[in-house]
Amino acid sequence: MTIEQFSNFASTSLLSAVGTGNSSLSVASVSGFPALVAGGQFRICVQDTPVSVPELMLVIGISGNSFTVTRGYEGSTVSAHIAGALISLVITAGIISNIYANGRIVTATSDSFGANDRILEVNQSYGACAIAGPTNPVPWAIEYTLKDGAGNASENPITLTPSGMLIDGLPSLTLNQPWQGITFYFNGTDLRIKS
């Protein structure tokens, strides 16, 4: 499970140049950057000069004044960087797309919450519907909604079975009332119903 971590105004610089094959960055200071928890990560932008092409990287480890990184993140180009290059913690399009709701209508008898799904409206009328997921949810940051969009859950129940976790202490939860819906979130261990 990954946990996206944040802090405000975190920046530093490279102590030594790095080539395109380096996955460790020696930095002037880690002060101001998040102290990574188990599964924690954050995103940085490395830019040699104000007019050079920046590279996005995912920080997956910190040891002393070194970041362990995944290079060329979110489609950016892996580049060599000079000593003194500016490093800043950033919020990226990838983070934003994970936070804002993406919904879709389900018409099959089985489906799952995909990586970008936040709202699933089940709108089918020919039998029970099994919904799996979500997979790798972000703790506390994202709410998910499952809704009977056809108004017939009493005849065609909708069962949510989380992937590798419980929902309010249960292995699954069934919507069986017309127009019923639930909103839930991940607390870092299990899913919890909000409403």
Mean pLDDT across the stretch 102-125? 84
* pLDDT at residue 99, as a whole number: 64
pLDDT surpasses 60 at 1: no
In the chain, what percentage of residues exceed pLDDT 70? 96
150 token code pair? 């056809």
Q: Does residue 98 surpass a pLDDT of 70?
A: no
Assess if CATH 2.60.120 describes domain 101-193.
yes
Q: Which CATH class is domain 3-95?
A: mainly beta
Residue 36 has pLDDT above 90, yes or no: yes
Q: What is the average pLDDT value for the chain, to the nearest integer?
A: 91
In this prediction, residue 46 has a pLDDT band, given cuts at 50, 70 and 90, of very high
What distance in Å separates the CA atoms of residue 115 and residue 102, rounded to the nearest whole number? 10
Place of tokens 């292995």: 171
Structure tokens at 137: 């949810």
Instruction: Give the pLDDT of residue 45.
Output: 97
Q: With 90 as the cut, is the pLDDT of residue 81 above it? A: yes
Q: Concatenated DSSP letters for the chain?
A: --EE---SS-EEEBSS-B-TT--EEEBS--TTS--PPTTEEEEEEEESSTTSPPEEEEEEEEETTEEEEESSGGGPPP--B-TT-EEEE---HHHHHHHS--EEEE-SSEEE--TT--EEEE---SS-EEEE--SSPPTTT-EEEEEESSS-TTTS-EEEE-SSS-BTTBS-EEE-STT-EEEEEE-SSSEEE--
Cis ω on the peptide bond leading into residue 162 (within 30° of 0)? Answer: no
189 CB-near residues (< 8 Å, 6+ apart): 165
Domain ranges of the chain: 3-95, 101-193
- What is the average per-residue pLDDT within 164-190? 94
